[in-house]
Amino acid sequence: MKIAVAGTGYVGLVTGTCLAKIGHTVVCVDKEASKIAQLQRGESPIYEPGLEAEIVAAKDAGRLHFTMDYADAYREAEVIMIGVATPENTDGSANLQALYQVCEQIATSITSPTLVVVKSTVPIGTNDRLAAYFDQLLGDSRKNWVEVASNPEFLSQGTALRDTLQAERIVIGTESQEAADILTEIYTPFDQPILKMNRRSAEMVKYASNDFLALKISFVNDIANLCEAVGADIDEVTSGMGADSRIGSRFLAPGIGYGGSCFPKDTKALHWLAEEAGYTLKTIRAAIDVNEKQRFKLMQAARKDIPLFAGKKIAVLGATFKPGTDDLREAPSIPNLQMLLNEGADVHVYDPVGLPNLENVFGSRLHYGESVASVLQGADACFIFTEWAVFKEMDLALFHTMHEPRVYDGRNCFSVKAAEQAGLQYYSIGRARVGGAVFA
């Protein structure tokens, strides 16, 4: 099938690449010339394990193309999928400007009836409004030419290919059997369960899924904080919880909160939507509040040991919001780095893939290390914000190259026993504290 995909971010690019991999002819559209030029050379503009190789393979097979010419792409397509960003407005609502711009481009380009599939995360009711908007744009002569379907994505950065090619379910929301049949035909080669429902339910599935996971993260962080207060060990607690099949072990890792392009935005968007509908989602409000406070747990602990950061060399391991990606959006590291800089600290950062993006944010205000060892040398304290494997597997003796081996671990990369045996002053989330004044 001929498919056009609007947007070459995580959603659009991964979707287009995977659809081409299973045999469809796909053209991805973007307004950024530099991104299209990169993709035409077979280079991925985003860091995602395995993605660039799949782009090259599909491109070489003649099934994946990239263009800025939206009119030609949309005119030739049987199905148009939209994967543009819907960022957060200042009030927490979703900004749909890019989505509506694409719809306007589609309306001016198509010359025959077309199925438009919205993969972007949008507030409940958006696709119904888009259907009415298309009728308005197309006029009486082309009325009902566009059928709008909701087909939310459930990919995670770092595992996006697997999440798409081996998804646990495919959700399609339509208002006609014809649209449902077309989407079923597209996705049949994936051999995954297809859940069919109306558009509003499909939109809600996406928000409810992400917000439940965010709630689970905030819950375990709240419990971890209580563990510190009462002397329990969060690792042992989550081991006992996760063994219950009704709970499961995923998303029970304590830390300094969630980040990224989805959870922060989607929790606020659903909370805003509920308020607009006259209902308060108290659980989601609590998840948001817990996450906001959790980001600064390490700083709170460190201040008891180092009241003033001015003039101190601070080592930072990890900047991205999670391992497996170069994405810094809503990463807990960012406000902490800003705070350290504002207080006059000399901050040295190492991240396996995130440094180019970090430099775009902070410029020369930070020192960017080439290795773990390079940032630890002579440091007064070390903060761990991301649980990259290179940190979890490092030789803890490296911390003794610091001025004093004070480690504030926001992702529980090391066991308490290992930190003890290594002679560290070690603070982690929800567990016993090891050595040092802050840990007395």
To the question of whether residue 265 is assigned a binding role by annotation, the answer is yes
The stretches of 110-198 forming alpha helices (DSSP H) are: 126-138, 160-165, 177-187
344 among annotated binding-site residues = no
Residue 59 labeled ligand binder: no
**160's tokens:** 């996006």
What SS3 state is found at 229?
helix
Q: What's the CA angle centered on 261, arms 260 and 264, to 5 degrees?
A: 75
How far apart are alpha carbons 320 and 333 in whole angstroms?
Answer: 7
> What distances in angstroms separate CA 129 from CA 79, 96, 177, 359, one per listed residue?
19, 12, 19, 40
Q: Which of 28, 103, 262, 382 is catalytic?
A: 262
Report the 10 Å Cβ neighbour count for 167: 18
Is 255 known as a binding-site position? yes
Tokens of residue 15, six digits:
């979707």
What does the block give as tokens for 126?
Answer: 């958006």
Angle at 129 between CA 126 and CA 132, to 5 degrees: 155
Annotated binding residue 86: yes
The three-class DSSP label of residue 326 is coil
Q: Which of 214, 201, 102, 117 is nearest to 156 (CA)?
A: 214
Binding residue per annotation — 131?
no
Measured CA to CA, the distance from residue 62 to residue 20 in angstroms comes to 9
Q: Is 329 annotated as a binding residue?
A: yes
Query: Does residue 304 have a known ligand-binding role?
Result: no
| Phi and psi at residue 315, to the nearest 5° | -90, 135
Pairing of strands 313-317, 194-197: unpaired
Residue type at 117? V
Compute the Cα dihedral for 207, 212, 217, 219 and give only its sign.
Answer: positive
Active site residue 18: no
> Is 108 annotated as a binding-site member?
no
Contact 30, 7 (CB under 8 A): yes
Q: Extract the tokens encoding 117.
A: 């599939």
Q: Is residue 294 within 8 Å of residue 263, measured between CB atoms?
A: no
Q: Does 206 show up as a binding residue in the annotation?
A: yes
Q: Is 211 assigned to a binding site?
A: no
13 among the known binding-site residues? Answer: no
Q: Is 35 annotated as a binding residue?
A: yes
Give the residue numbers annotated as catalytic, written as ranges: 262
Binding positions are 30, 35, 86, 121, 206, 251-255, 259, 265, 322, 329
Binding positions for substrate are 206, 251-255, 259, 322
Binding positions for NAD(+) are 30, 35, 86, 121, 265, 329
